[in-house]
Amino acid sequence: MAAAHVCLGATLIRLGDYDRAIAAIGRAAAGRDIFEGPSIPVKLSETPGAVDRPAPLVGQHTDEILAELGYTGLARCALREQQII
């Protein structure tokens, strides 16, 4: 990786810190807290990265994705009734 000029290294985190981070993520997902995690790992001058919204909740975009794949509303309802989604 060094030959390709790729920055690579281990990330060490203490178990207690990990537990607190997971708890904070859970509170943020429930809308009870704001989670401040690590920043964008790579800083680019022309295309800077940003985290401007929280990660999606599980299933939050299922209907949109299935609709884009051609599933009708009735087909999505059938998948829900069968507990597939």
Per-residue pLDDT tens over the stretch 66-77: 999 999 999 999
Per-residue pLDDT tens over the stretch 14-64: 556 666 666 666 665 555 555 556 667 777 888 877 777 777 888 899 999
Confidence label for 4 from pLDDT (cuts 50, 70 and 90): low
- pTM to 2 decimals? 0.45
* The pLDDT of residue 74: 96
* The three-state (H, E, C) secondary structure of the chain, written as one string: CHHHCCCCCCCCCCHHHHHHHHHHHHHHHCCCCCCCCCCCCCCCCCCCCCCCCCCCCCCCCHHHHHHHCCCCHHHHHHHHHCCCC
* The pLDDT of residue 6: 66
Exposed / middle / buried, residue 35 (Cβ in 10 Å: 0-12, 13-18, 19+): middle
